[in-house]
Chain A
Amino acid sequence: MSPPTALLVDDEPQLTALLRRELAVLWPELEVVGEALDGPTALELAESHEPEFVFLDIKMPGMTGLEVARRLDGTCHVVFVTAFDQFAVQAFEAAAVDYLLKPVDPARLASAVARLKSRRSAEPPEMGSLLDGLAARMRPKSGWLQWLKVQHGQDLVLVPVQDVAVFRSSDKYTLALTREQEWVIRTPLKDLEEKLDPERFWRVHRNSIVRADAIARVTRDDHGQVVIRLRDMTLSIAVSRTYASMFKQM
């Protein structure tokens, strides 16, 4: 059998250097064919050198280790290296995927090396669905609008949607009311409604959308009008008849 080969990938150059030195002690026959600081470089090096093993950091700029592994799937044995990714580590444990925790404990590295040696003859395992699941979990994005871009005088200001208690339509504009301020945005209320998470933002009137957790209480006044009182704000919002049923039995 030809000598084992490996590619080391970490966005912190000091850490690939460290791993290289530690591997040299524990597995002298292992030939490190390359070091990469990011995903795209890792893929290029993997293609040109066809390493048997890839030690892959998970958190990297541009392309995460999970994405790199997805592309490499089946061509080599992947060992994930992570400082702290609880979900990933649990999933790796469950699926018997190799991983190392940073800082790497030499004793753990020694047992990982022993396991890798035994895997040389086996086919690399299929990890596609596992990686897709993890990647979706680690993406801090939401399908809903999270930030409003507001023109404020000469400046463009970013306002977190989670700070807005009420959106109210006013002529051509929409007012976004936070505890501190009243912002004017150009997006019509109807278009905003489609972008906002309906679990958190409720339409209560033809011209207002309220953030559910900003509601302090819902009352009915002398004329039978249902009115929402907001937390931390003196403002109260009328609920139209169409939407009043939302608050029955509350």
Chain B
Amino acid sequence: MRNFTTRLLLTLLYNTAVAFFFVFIGVNDLRSALVFSHAIGLSIFALARALRGGRVPAGRGWSLAVAVPIGTAAGVLIASLLLGIDLTRSISAHPQFIATVLGGSLTFGAGASYYFHARALAVEAEVRHREQTLQRVVDEQRLTEANLKLLQAQIEPHFLFNTLSNVINLIDVSPAQARRMLVNLTTYLRASLQRTRAGATSLGEELELVRAYLEIQSVRMGERLSYSIDAPMELLGLALPPLLIQPLVENAIRHGLEPKASAGKVEISARLDGRQLVVRVKDTGLGIDENMVPGVGLANVRARIQAVSGGAGSLVIQPNHPTGVCVQVSLAATQCDAPARRLRELA
């Protein structure tokens, strides 16, 4: 509403200025110049507004092209009626005068309309820019929150304490195996703690972490768990946000296979599909019940894929046949900056 008032006042001011201009160049007397100018200006104003339906002219520039000539013609008619001028007679008597009025009105009307139109477009661009900035800030904030939540949810206490219990047992029974389990646990913990701070990591690093985790789990679960990791060497250097696959593997174990009494399998595979890196985590666990509350991990992975890919990545969850879940992550394939160094650190 304030916008409307401002525009109206500006229009009235402009009309008055135009009237004085015509008086100055000696075309009209003040009274008729004012009547003509306001009649034409206000007609254009009203018409343009009506055509836009009161809205900011998103893609409605055409309304001006229509409003200016028609508004001018209407304004001339109204002014003539108000001033008691017989138009047809005036046109034949002073064709030059009428041509000047019409030409001037068209020029000034177009100028003013263009000004308003450009201003509205600028405002619109500004609003869009602000919305985009806001969206970016929101995305970044979500990413930070997601990382924090991930850190909290990462090291599952059941997993940690049961693993330690196993190590204590193995120290007596099989020291070599105990040692191996501790090395795997160290890899797992270090990667979890380090990489929540680091930016992008590589597929190779992520799979190392996944392997360490699965080795620990297969000691714990014995024959109930088997697994495979299948990724071509040339893909290992591709960039991947940290801890994107590991939570999916952990879900497969925690919700799919651990609660299942019979034996099951997890299969992790990576391949290139065009320019997309596709990683799939497939299990033969209990599957997803439609009333099962999804964990923090999944929402987190989805949020981070969204944040890093800006809509180009995806996370697809499907039932696996005959049982279990298949989760597929797709991201643009880009090389990681320093995979070799980090891989050495992990080894």
Contacts and interface: CB of A to CB of B under 8 A. Distances in A.
Interface of A: 11-15, 17-18, 21, 38, 59, 61-62, 83-84, 101-104, 140-149, 155-160, 162-163, 179-180, 222, 231-232
Contact of A15 (B169, B172, B258, B316): B169
27 contacts: A12-B222, A13-B222, A15-B162, A18-B165, A18-B169, A61-B224, A61-B258, A61-B259, A83-B161, A84-B157, A101-B161, A103-B161, A103-B165, A140-B292, A142-B292, A146-B290, A146-B291, A146-B292, A146-B293, A156-B318, A157-B317, A158-B317, A160-B294, A160-B298, A160-B317, A163-B299, A180-B306
Given A61-B260, A157-B318, A158-B318, A141 B291 contact: yes
Contacts of A38: 261
B138 interface: yes
B6 to A, nearest CB: 17
Interface string B4-16: 0000000000000
Interface string B258-275: 111100000000000000
Given A159-B317, A160-B298, A17 B173 contact: yes
A104 B292 contact: no
B178 to A, nearest CB: 11
Interface of B: 54, 135, 138, 157-158, 160-162, 164-166, 168-170, 172-173, 219-222, 224, 258-261, 288-294, 298-299, 302, 306, 311, 314, 316-319, 325
A156 B311 CA distance: 22
A141 B286 CA distance: 14
Contacts, number: 113
A158 B287 CA distance: 11
B217 to A, nearest CB: 11
Nearest to A62: B261
Contact of B170 (A14, A159, A160): A14
Contacts of A142: 291-293
A141 B289 CA distance: 9
B158 A59 contact: yes
Contacts of B260: 61-62
A157 B316 contact: yes
Nearest to B317: A158
A17 B222 CA distance: 14
B213 to A, nearest CB: 16
B291 A83 contact: no
Contact of A156 (B290, B314, B319): B319
Given A17-B173, A149-B319, A162-B294, 17 more contacts: A14-B166, A14-B219, A18-B168, A18-B172, A59-B158, A59-B258, A61-B224, A61-B258, A84-B160, A140-B292, A141-B291, A141-B292, A141-B293, A142-B292, A156-B319, A160-B299, A179-B306
